[in-house]
Amino acid sequence: MTKFGYFLSSEEHGPAELVRQAKLAERAGFEGLWISDHFHPWLDVQGQSPFVWSVIGAVAEATSLPITTAVTCPLVRTHPAIIAQAAATSAALSGGRFRLGVGTGEALNEHIVDSRWPPAAERLEMLEEAVELMRQLWSGKLVTHRGTHYRVDTARLYTLPDEPPPIYMSAFGDKAVQLAGRIADGYICTAPNAELVERFHKSGGAGKPSQGGLKVCYAADEATGRRTAHRIWPTEGIQGEAMQLLPLPRHFEELAEMVTEDEIAAPCGPDPEVHVQAIREYVDAGFDEVYISQIGQEQDAFFDFYAAEVLPRLR
């Protein structure tokens, strides 16, 4: 049976608010948490970007829900050896409730330490090597690594969970999905695409879990919700590789000026069936877990609405 979780938006909310939302999500009946890992928000209007590993520690203490990063890029901004340590500590602190979601990232977050942004094919190579290196470190053995992209000299992780955290990989293109099926323990996607889920399973991911995620905007009426979604997340209407290539929020603001309210696909407003229909697209596509993020500040009302009107319909 599909599980339903809440997607904590680090781009929109500060650390204390994210912890508060995690507690509200558990109380409302959500069964897991996603949390985004950013250095910059997509747009200045979103306004936040706390250090995700500190927030994960607080959330692990405040709730009993499983937590997945959606997603961390262990390629440029943070060396995979450091991500391995952070993930191991998070898994140990949470009693094994942590899953490391990884992807090839965006220049928006990664360019801050290296202005050269590798092409997609190279980033896939880097991710494969990073995943291999992290798993070596989770063995608890002394690791020296001389790879194509990364070097590690006599490194050993001393704080480890009972079991290594599973690695879920975000993927959209054919090559990325095939790599996810081959090296990852699970699949992450933000589109209700049954073909991608099937391709993941056929590429070595048979029997492995898949997670999907979407944004919604509960509001007193649909028009208000659509205005809020368009103001805060017009990037949802941007297609193609721009999301991976642009380095600054102001670049996304310029591109988002071409996105109209009508191009925002997120379910908006107070009709539970509108929300249920959008979520069921992910269920019908074969996702085992679906994570929902509420756009904007109406968080308390959203959780009340989902607890009373949406989650019972889905179950």
Residues belonging to the active site:
38, 106
Name the nearest CA neighbour of 47 among 253, 212, 274, 307. 253
Contact 303, 24 (CB under 8 A): yes
Pairwise CA distance, residues 131 & 74, whole Å? 8
Pairwise CA distance, residues 36 & 55, whole Å? 11
Contact 206, 225 (CB under 8 A): no
> How far apart, in Å, are the Cα atoms of 46 and each of 37, 233, 240, 281?
14, 8, 21, 27
**Count of other CB atoms within 10 angstroms of residue 44:** 12
Contact 286, 186 (CB under 8 A): no
Contact 178, 196 (CB under 8 A): no
Name the nearest CA neighbour of 295 among 258, 271, 252, 265. 265
**Cβ neighbours for 79, distance < 8 A, ≥ 6 positions apart:** 150
